[in-house]
């Protein structure tokens, strides 16, 4: 049985979809459906069972057996809000929960693939996986870095696979529940539909209007990388997951303006609450991913945004 925590969420639901695509349905989805709207992300896919995240961790802590042996854990559940400053809640959800699950997996030699984040790099301009580059700007990024460092200390003696994947700016279907944390493409499309106008940040951080750059990565590519590591259990470590090529926000706006030609583009100042803790540039260094033989070709942001806009239009 494969466990996917956060399986009703954005990336988690795509991992479940990718597992179904290779005929694997023996999946236990773990999530928190307090926001019941997330059920739509799970509805199309075949799973063995669902368990609330609190019930799941209680079973893990108390060594209550499951009815099937766990063969893999994809740990994608977390609080992903970069603007959340409740550090106690963040550490409980992103750090302590992850440690408990990691030790459970290690004790049973269960391959453990978990979600880290490019937020660990903060305002840095070098995105190689190296402690010298890790300077988070918010407590979310710090919670992810703290767990990465915890994993680093255990990796030398680990007898089973442990993989941390530092996701860059992921976009695509099934993120509608993320609110303000949904992707730029999601927000710009809905602004265009609602207001006939899309808004981008104006000049900031040494970049011109709408020219702040991010490594935008298509969510299906992210799911593919997760499955690649499942199929290559000999590889452990912490890896960046991005295209390796930054693009300006204007590139996404251009696709939407082409698809919805009546839309206007407007630049606004960066809000005060984001100044000083906003990443104006990200670009994944994927050398370590390539070094272990992962040759997956990532989707270009223009192609990915076009696919996403068409999907959103189909959803009405």
Active site residues: 140, 178
Query: What is the DSSP code (8-state) at residue 234?
Result: T
- Greatest CA separation found in the chain? 59
Q: Please tell me the distance from the alpha carbon of residue 34 to that of residue 89, in angstroms, as a whole number.
A: 16
* Rounded-to-integer distance, Cα 196 and Cα 170, Å: 25
In the beta sheet, which residues pair with residue 31?
Answer: 52
Cα 257 vs. chain centroid, distance in angstroms?
A: 26
Q: Do 215 and 240 touch, CB atoms closer than 8 A?
A: no
Distance between CA atoms of residues 20 and 201, nearest Å: 39
Q: Which of 163, 144, 166 is closest to 155 using CA atoms? A: 163
Contact (CB, 8 A) for 300 and 110:
no
- Ramachandran area for residue 176 (φ above 0: left; ψ -120 to 50: alpha; else beta): alpha
DSSP 8-state assignment for residue 51:
E
**CA atoms of 313 and 316, how far apart (whole Å):** 5
CA trace torsion 16, 111, 81, 178 (10° rounding):
0
């Amino acid at each position: 049985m494969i466990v996917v925590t956060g399986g009703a969420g954005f990336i988690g639901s795509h991992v479940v979809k990718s597992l179904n695509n290779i005929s694997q349905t023996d999946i236990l989805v773990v999530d928190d459906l307090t926001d019941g709207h997330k059920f739509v992300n799970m509805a199309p896919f075949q799973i063995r069972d669902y368990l609330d995240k609190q019930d799941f961790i209680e079973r893990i802590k108390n060594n209550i057996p499951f009815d099937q042996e766990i063969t893999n854990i994809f740990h994608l559940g977390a609080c992903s809000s970069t603007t959340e400053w409740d550090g106690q809640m963040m550490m409980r959800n992103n750090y302590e929960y992850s440690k408990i699950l990691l030790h459970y997996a290690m004790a049973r030699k269960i391959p453990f693939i978990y979600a880290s984040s490019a937020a660990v790099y903060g305002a840095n301009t070098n995105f190689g996986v190296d402690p010298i580059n890790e300077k988070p700007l918010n407590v979310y990024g710090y919670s992810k870095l703290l767990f990465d460092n915890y994993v680093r200390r255990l990796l030398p003696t680990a007898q089973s696979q442990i993989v941390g994947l530092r996701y860059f700016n992921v976009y695509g279907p099934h993120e509608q529940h993320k609110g303000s944390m949904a992707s730029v493409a999601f927000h710009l499309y809905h602004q265009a539909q609602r207001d006939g106008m899309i808004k981008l940040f104006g000049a900031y951080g040494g970049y011109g209007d709408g020219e702040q750059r991010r490594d935008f990565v298509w969510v299906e590519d992210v799911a593919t990388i997760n499955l690649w590591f499942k199929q290559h259990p000999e590889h452990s470590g912490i890896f960046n997951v991005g295209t390796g090529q930054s693009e300006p926000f204007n590139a996404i706006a251009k696709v939407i303006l082409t698809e919805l030609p009546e839309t206007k583009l407007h630049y606004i100042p960066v809000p005060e609450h984001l100044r000083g803790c906003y990443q104006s540039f990200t670009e994944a260094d994927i050398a370590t991913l390539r070094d272990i033989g992962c040759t997956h070709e990532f989707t270009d942001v223009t192609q990915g945004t076009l696919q996403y806009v068409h999907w959103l239009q189909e959803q009405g």
